[in-house]
């Protein structure tokens, strides 16, 4: 695999960025309660908070915005989106939503009854929250290896079929409305799921009449890994890999803000007509009419076009190569990262990086704040803060305590990646001087977004 590929595009519009001084950054992060979500974007130099909605759209997508049909009902752009989803993903019915969690809300409300179990290949923050708000109990059925950042195996996002079957035997299939399979697995480090595993999950679920729902948010990145690493797929076009992947699901939720290459949007897609009819009833309560789902016609158009751009072989190959470029630089300099490098981000192993800090001192939150102070690079905590509290009110202690350096699509060059790598290396040299944090304010739901902290002396 070639690591340093040139961008398969030319840059037509630029957005200037600049770095404020270290003193200003110390002040800014203090004012943000040591939470990178609360920083002002103008105070950030290189923004690796998330790959969500931070994509650079193409000239073709911007042109599509001008063709927005802003009718309340029956917009032409909805037809374009519906056709794109049918063509590329193979699902018959599509309900647009304002973003991924809108689709998760609809799905959870329709399918989950109080006391139901929802197996999944590792939790995702918004996904689990919607499941729990509807009385569901999330159960992790990912392979054990996914919880260890050092184990380097392909398809580390796979579902452990024994764990899935054990849950079915324990609680009964009638209490499992669906299994949620994320392709790729964000919280595990952007790790993919193999086609073989998807096929086997489908067979087991079908046998017990359990629905399979994909979290398709980064499904094109997953398809790339299958093409590269799974026997028999090297000469298959990405679009066909994607279609085969989706053939093992009954439906999917999608945050279009990632792989669909837009700044806002999402959808719920499925093949079952009854599920679709129910979704059209809920969507008008929570999002908007079933043909716009909280989006403008122009947003629907941009997403329809983005779906086709995302399956371009040069695009997706360069995308993954850029993430690997950063990852390899860090590995070469002995910076602890999750291995193998995943699809959308490089994850620093904060537990190892700040091995002198207990998990209750929030090593990943601390490291993200310190990286910002060091270099103006914004990253995101993915550890104990993101994991939240269990139903008894105790902090969950996830094995993975990570800082995510998330690469927006088509936004930065490898020169930016060099700066990020150098910043991490410099911080690592002085890691022993770094102290932890404690909560000043802790919200009750999805606390990582708005929590505030102060340094522990
Ligand atoms: N992911 C991310 O930065 C943005 C919000 S959480 C910090 O990774 C998956 C796998 C996601 C995801 C969002 C959503 C929700 C669902 N599944 O943000 O509502 O990574 O569009 O999607 C974020 P929306």
Ligand 1 centroid, distance to 226 Cα (angstroms): 22
- Report the 3 state secondary structure along 377-439: EECEEECHHHHCECCCCCECCCCCCEEEEECCCCCCCHHHHHHHHHHHHHHHHCHHHCCCEEE
**Which of left, alpha, beta for 99 (phi over 0: left; psi -120 to 50: alpha)?**
beta
Catalytic residue among 72, 150, 389, 438: 72
d(CA 363, CA 343): 24
Containing 253, the helix (H) or strand (E) segment is strand 251-255
Q: What are phi and psi of 183, to 5 degrees?
A: -130, 105
CB atoms under 10 Å from CB of 172, counted, come to: 11
CB atoms under 10 Å from CB of 41, counted, come to: 9
Question: Average pLDDT in the 222-229 region?
Answer: 98
CB atoms under 10 Å from CB of 315, counted, come to: 20
| Ligand 1 contact via 191 beta carbon (within 6 Å) | no
Q: How far is CA 238 from CA 83, 284, 447, in A?
A: 18, 34, 37
Q: What is the pLDDT of residues 386-407, one digit of tens each?
A: 999 998 999 999 999 999 999 9
Q: What is the pLDDT of residues 314-333, one digit of tens each?
A: 999 999 999 999 999 999 99
* Domain boundaries 59-310, corresponding CATH code: 3.40.640.10
Ligand 1 centroid, distance to 180 Cα (angstroms): 15
Per the annotation, the verdict on 382 as an active-site residue is yes
Question: Average pLDDT in the 442-453 region?
Answer: 96
| Ligand 1 contact via 363 beta carbon (within 6 Å) | no
pLDDT tier, 423 (very low <50, low <70, confident <90, very high otherwise): very high
Q: How would you classify the pairing of strands 402-406 and 380-382?
A: antiparallel
CB atoms under 10 Å from CB of 80, counted, come to: 20
Half-sphere exposure of 180 (CA within 13 A, CB side): 30
> Which CATH architecture describes the domain 22-51+313-455?
Alpha-Beta Complex (3.90)
Catalytic residue among 45, 93, 124, 315: 124
| Ligand 1 contact via 101 beta carbon (within 6 Å) | yes
Per the annotation, the verdict on 250 as an active-site residue is no
Please tell me the predicted confidence (pLDDT) of residue 2: 52
Mean per-residue pLDDT over the chain, rounded: 97
pLDDT tier, 191 (very low <50, low <70, confident <90, very high otherwise): very high
Containing 129, the helix (H) or strand (E) segment is helix 125-133
Atom of ligand 1 nearest to the CA of 406: 3
Fold agreement between 22-51+313-455 and 59-310: no
Catalytic residue among 227, 257, 258, 378: 258
| Ligand 1 contact via 54 beta carbon (within 6 Å) | no
| DSSP-derived secondary structure letter, 191 | B
Per the annotation, the verdict on 155 as an active-site residue is no
Q: How far is CA 265 from CA 53, 63, 128, in A?
A: 9, 17, 20
| DSSP-derived secondary structure letter, 440 | E
Per the annotation, the verdict on 72 as an active-site residue is yes
Give residue limits of the domains in the chain. Answer: 22-51+313-455, 59-310
């Amino acid at each position: 695999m070639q690591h340093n590929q040139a961008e398969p595009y030319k840059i037509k519009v630029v957005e200037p960025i600049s770095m404020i001084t270290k003193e200003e950054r110390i002040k800014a992060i203090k004012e943000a309660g040591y939470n990178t979500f609360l920083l002002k974007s103008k105070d950030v130099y290189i923004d690796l908070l998330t790959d969500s909605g931070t994509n650079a759209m193409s000239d073709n997508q911007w042109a599509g915005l001008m063709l927005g049909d802003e009718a309340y009902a029956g917009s032409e752009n909805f037809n374009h989106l519906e056709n794109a989803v049918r063509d590329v993903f193979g699902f018959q019915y599509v309900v647009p939503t304002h973003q991924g969690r809108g689709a998760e809300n609809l799905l959870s409300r329709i399918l989950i009854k109080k006391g139901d179990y929802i197996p999944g290949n590792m939790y995702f923050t918004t996904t689990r929250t919607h499941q729990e708000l509807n009385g569901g109990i999330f159960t992790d059925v990912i392979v054990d290896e996914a919880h260890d950042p050092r184990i380097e195996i392909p398809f580390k996002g796979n579902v452990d079929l024994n764990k899935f079957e054990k849950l079915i035997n324990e609680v009964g299939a009638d209490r499992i409305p669906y299994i949620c399979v994320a392709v790729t697995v964000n919280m595990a480090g952007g790790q993919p799921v193999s086609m073989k595993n998807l096929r086997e999950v489908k067979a087991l679920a079908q046998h017990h009449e359990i629905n399979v729902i994909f979290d398709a948010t980064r499904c094109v990145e997953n398809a790339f890994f299958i093409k590269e690493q799974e026997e028999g797929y090297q000469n298959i076009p990405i679009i066909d890999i994607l279609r085969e992947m989706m053939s093992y699901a009954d439906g999917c939720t999608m945050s279009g803000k990632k792989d669909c290459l837009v700044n806002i949007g999402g959808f719920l897609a499925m093949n079952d007509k009854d599920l679709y009819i129910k979704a059209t009833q809920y969507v008008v309560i929570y999002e908007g009419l079933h043909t716009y789902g909280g989006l403008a016609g122009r947003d629907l158009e941009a997403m329809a076009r983005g779906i086709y751009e995302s399956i371009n072989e040069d695009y997706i190959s360069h995308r993954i190569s850029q993430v690997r470029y950063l990852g390899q630089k860090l590995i070469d300099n002995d910076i602890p990262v999750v291995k193998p490098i995943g699809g959308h981000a490089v994850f620093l192993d904060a537990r190892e990086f700040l091995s002198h800090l207990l998990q209750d001192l929030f090593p990943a939150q601390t490291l993200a704040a310190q990286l910002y102070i060091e270099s103006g690079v914004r990253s995101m905590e993915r550890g104990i803060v993101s994991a939240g509290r269990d139903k008894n009110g105790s902090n969950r202690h996830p094995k993975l305590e990570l800082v995510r350096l998330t690469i927006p699509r088509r936004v930065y060059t490898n020169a930016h990646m060099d700066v990020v790598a150098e910043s991490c290396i410099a911080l690592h040299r002085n890691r022993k001087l770094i102290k932890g944090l404690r909560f000043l304010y802790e919200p009750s739901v999805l606390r990582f977004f708005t929590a505030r902290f102060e340094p522990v002396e």
